[in-house]
């Protein structure tokens, strides 16, 4: 049985739009809806007020949740960035492929040119496609990209018409933006030199010159200093292209808004992947001190602002009735992830993972159960959904939405779950797989975590790993916090889920 539990095929988009015409008046009605994915970085399930946060308020996220469908049981595929993003875009579990772990800043392209992705599927349906923000999936051929020339093997080679991206993460060099196939604003007379093996050039480092830092590392992150923050990796050159951390959200949000404005007359797909709330957390001055929780809380407010700018643009352009907006995160939360920013000291009673156990890097649901909202005015009825949903299903669901069938081999782990996405069905997947070094599987009310080495804690981030030498089984309906291991009392369920996971690992259709 497929994880969609043999859900019936959904109507074509023309049938869906007929419902829209009955429920609202549209200007510039199109054959297909615009699609926007707003993808936060390291945002926890409990970090937003629509999911129960009380100390911090996220009014723009709340606004889209009140007009859309808020999922309580939606998941990314992995508890870290690169593999989650790989699975989201390709419809394949990252753990099936080598080299899909957290990518260094100089990594070559993880998704090979010509590979079918969400972007290429929608481009084939006539969409203009764009990605703005964090990439973290590698660039260039084996050996990495040419930072001083044309950058090949990037987003434009897997279905995107436009990109303005942070190549890896904010805490990794190079600290520059890439627009389409070039480093944005680079002066050819000041070329970039980059290394993750040894120091290059004479730029100061956090290790050698801590007196130059405005934010100090708590662990690692003590190499080249850019904008008063030391990073992972060494670089020199490219001064005219360097970003200013305080302006990153403004720059990428502005680019996302411009992409929408430039393509308002035709169907578009925008993958807007924010930097917030990933480290280093250096929000714009207008957010500093506003949360009362230090830079991490202020960065959440900044992300909420970015969401508001996208919503406002859609409404200003009268596109709300013809735009499907999804807001989610790449993995669960982490408080101290490498910089001394008082995130731990100022956390107070705020619970970034809400009622969930664990967080980023963890096999527990705090690592992979994430904020997920789908909103399409006039089509999706506002409310909440308990349907089991995985981000990996967006590829097949978007294909169904646009009347397409995925080619053989494309999106091998992605299933059409459009009915759940649009709120037409209360049933989602029958099962889904989560990944954090090892694997776990959820089926119905049960979650099984396969046994491993037994490391109990990621000490550097103070997060429970979920790894144990014994099998773990939790009833996540009655025990959402995964506090009581019921494996010994339910050997038949453990065996069933062990065999199901084995079939999935072997690429067999359960």
**Number of Cα atoms under 13 Å in the Cβ half of residue 78:** 21
Pull the structure tokens for residue 119: 């972007």
Res 457: pLDDT: 83
Per-residue pLDDT tens for 54-84?
999 999 999 999 999 999 999 999 999 999 9
Alpha-helical regions (H) of 198-318: 248-262, 294-316
**Residue 256: pLDDT above 60?**
yes
Residue 87 CA to residue 93 CA, distance in Å, equals: 5
| ∠ CA 420-425-429, rounded to 5° | 55
Q: If pLDDT is split at 50, 70 and 90, which confidence band does 19 have? A: very low
119 and 179 in a single domain? The answer is yes
In a domain, 309, yes or no: yes
Q: If pLDDT is split at 50, 70 and 90, which confidence band does 7 have? A: very low
Indicate the helix (H) or strand (E) that contains 499.
helix 491-505
What average pLDDT does this structure show over 265-273? Answer: 98
Chain position carrying tokens 């904008």: 227
Q: What's the distance, Cα to Cα, between the start and end of the chain in Å?
A: 5
49 and 29 in a single domain? The answer is yes
306 and 367 in a single domain? The answer is yes
402 and 453 in a single domain? The answer is no
Res 11: pLDDT: 37
Residues in the chain: 510
343 and 480 in a single domain? The answer is no
Strand partners, 252: none
Q: Coil, strand, or helix at residue 119?
A: helix
Per-residue pLDDT tens for 214-255?
999 999 999 999 999 999 999 999 999 999 999 999 999 999
Q: If pLDDT is split at 50, 70 and 90, which confidence band does 14 have? A: very low
| ∠ CA 137-344-293, rounded to 5° | 90
Res 1: pLDDT: 45
Res 341: pLDDT: 96
Per-residue pLDDT tens for 481-495?
999 999 999 999 999
Q: Which of 426, 460, 482 is the last residue of a domain?
A: 426
DSSP state of 371: -
Q: If pLDDT is split at 50, 70 and 90, which confidence band does 13 have? A: very low
145 and 187 in a single domain? The answer is yes
Q: Which domain holds residue 436?
A: 432-505
What average pLDDT does this structure show over 33-47? Answer: 98
Res 437: pLDDT: 92
Closest listed residue to residue 109, CA positions, set 129, 90, 96, 124: 90
Q: Coil, strand, or helix at residue 134?
A: strand
**Residue 504: pLDDT above 50?**
yes
Residue 191 sits at φ, ψ, to 5 deg, of -65, 155
In a domain, 74, yes or no: yes
363 and 377 in a single domain? The answer is yes
Q: Which of 370, 395, 426 is the last residue of a domain?
A: 426
98 and 45 in a single domain? The answer is yes
281 and 374 in a single domain? The answer is yes
296 and 414 in a single domain? The answer is yes
What average pLDDT does this structure show over 135-139? Answer: 98
In a domain, 288, yes or no: yes
Res 266: pLDDT: 95
Residue 367 CA to residue 385 CA, distance in Å, equals: 20
User: Is residue 111 a contact partner of residue 86, using CB atoms and an 8 Å limit?
Assistant: yes
182 and 320 in a single domain? The answer is yes
Closest listed residue to residue 281, CA positions, set 299, 302, 257, 305: 299
pLDDT above 70 coverage of the chain, percent: 94
**Roughly what angle, to the nearest 10 degrees, separates helices 248-262 and 294-316?**
10
Spatial neighbors of 192 by CB under 8 A, at least 6 apart, are 147, 148, 174, 176, 183, 186, 235, 236, 237, 238, 241
Q: Coil, strand, or helix at residue 187?
A: coil
In a domain, 510, yes or no: no
Whole-structure pTM value: 0.93
What average pLDDT does this structure show over 489-507? Answer: 97
**Residue 439: pLDDT above 70?**
yes
Give the burial string for 23-50 (b: 16+ CB within 10 Å, else e).
Answer: eeebeeebebbbbbbbbbbbbbbbbbbb
What average pLDDT does this structure show over 310-318? Answer: 98
Q: If pLDDT is split at 50, 70 and 90, which confidence band does 28 have? A: very low
Res 27: pLDDT: 33
In a domain, 85, yes or no: yes
Q: Coil, strand, or helix at residue 447?
A: strand
Res 66: pLDDT: 98
Q: Which of 406, 426, 446 is the last residue of a domain?
A: 426
Per-residue pLDDT tens for 344-355?
999 999 999 999
485 and 398 in a single domain? The answer is no
In a domain, 49, yes or no: yes
DSSP state of 84: H
In this structure, what CATH number is given to the domain that contains residue 45? 3.40.720.10
In a domain, 199, yes or no: no
User: Is residue 63 a contact partner of residue 376, using CB atoms and an 8 Å limit?
Assistant: no
User: Is residue 384 a contact partner of residue 72, using CB atoms and an 8 Å limit?
Assistant: yes
Structural domain count of the chain: 2
In this structure, what CATH number is given to the domain that contains residue 498? 3.30.1120.10
Res 454: pLDDT: 84
Residue 334 CA to residue 280 CA, distance in Å, equals: 12
Per-residue pLDDT tens for 375-404?
999 999 999 999 999 999 999 999 999 999
**Residue 2: pLDDT above 90?**
no
Closest listed residue to residue 443, CA positions, set 371, 493, 391: 493
In a domain, 230, yes or no: no
User: Is residue 32 a contact partner of residue 20, using CB atoms and an 8 Å limit?
Assistant: no
**Residue 25: pLDDT above 90?**
no
């Amino acid at each position: 049985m497929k994880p969609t539990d043999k859900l019936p095929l959904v109507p074509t988009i023309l049938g869906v739009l007929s419902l829209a015409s009955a429920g609202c008046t549209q200007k510039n009605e199109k054959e297909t809806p615009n699609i926007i994915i707003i993808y936060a970085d390291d945002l926890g399930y409990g970090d937003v007020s629509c999911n129960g946060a009380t100390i911090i308020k996220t009014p723009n996220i709340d606004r889209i949740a009140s007009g859309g469908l808020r999922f309580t049981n939606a998941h990314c595929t992995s508890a870290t960035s690169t593999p989650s993003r790989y699975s989201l875009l390709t419809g394949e579990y990252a753990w099936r492929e080598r080299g899909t772990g957290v990518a260094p800043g100089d990594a070559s392209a993880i998704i090979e040119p010509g590979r079918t992705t969400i972007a290429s599927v929608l481009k084939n349906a006539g969409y203009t496609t764009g990605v703005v923000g964090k990439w973290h999936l590698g660039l260039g051929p084996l050996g990495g990209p040419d930072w001083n020339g044309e950058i090949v093997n990037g987003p434009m080679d897997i279905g995107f018409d436009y990109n303005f991206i942070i190549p890896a993460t904010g805490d990794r060099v190079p600290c520059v933006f890439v627009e389409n196939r070039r480093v944005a604003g680079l002066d050819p007379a000041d070329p970039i030199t980059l290394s993750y093996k040894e120091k290059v050039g004479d730029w100061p480092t956090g290790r050698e010159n801590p007196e130059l830092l405005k934010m100090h590392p708590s662990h690692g992150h003590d190499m080249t200093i850019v904008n008063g923050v030391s990073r992972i990796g060494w670089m020199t050159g490219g001064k005219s292209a360097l970003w200013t951390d305080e302006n990153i959200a403004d720059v990428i949000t502005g680019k996302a808004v411009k992409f929408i404005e430039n393509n308002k007359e035709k169907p578009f797909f925008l993958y807007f992947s924010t930097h917030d709330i990933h480290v280093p957390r250096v929000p714009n001055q207008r957010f500093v001190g506003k949360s009362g929780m230090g830079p991490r809380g202020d960065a959440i407010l900044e992300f909420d602002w970015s969401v508001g700018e996208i919503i406002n643009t859609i409404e200003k352009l009268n596109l709300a009735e013809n735009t499907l907006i999804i807001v989610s995160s790449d993995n669960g939360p982490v408080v101290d992830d490498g910089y001394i920013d008082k995130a731990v000291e100022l956390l107070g009673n705020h619970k970034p993972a809400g009622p969930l156990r664990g967080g980023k890097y963890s096999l527990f649901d705090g690592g992979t159960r994430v904020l997920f909202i789908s909103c399409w005015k006039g089509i999706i009825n506002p409310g909440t959904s308990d349907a089991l949903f995985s981000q990996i299903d967006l590829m097949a669901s978007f294909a169904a939405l646009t009347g397409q069938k995925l080619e053989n081999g494309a999106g091998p782990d992605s299933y059409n779950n459009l009915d759940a996405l649009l709120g037409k069905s209360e049933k989602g997947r029958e099962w889904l797989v989560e990944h954090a070094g090892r694997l776990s599987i959820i089926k119905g009310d049960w979650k099984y975590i396969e046994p491993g080495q037994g490391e109990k804690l990621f000490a550097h981030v103070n997060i429970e790993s979920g790894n144990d030498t014994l099998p773990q089984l939790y009833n996540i309906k009655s025990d959402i916090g995964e506090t009581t291991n019921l494996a010994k009392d339910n050997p038949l369920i453990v065996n069933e889920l062990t065999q199901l996971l084995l079939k999935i690992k072997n690429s067999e259709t359960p």
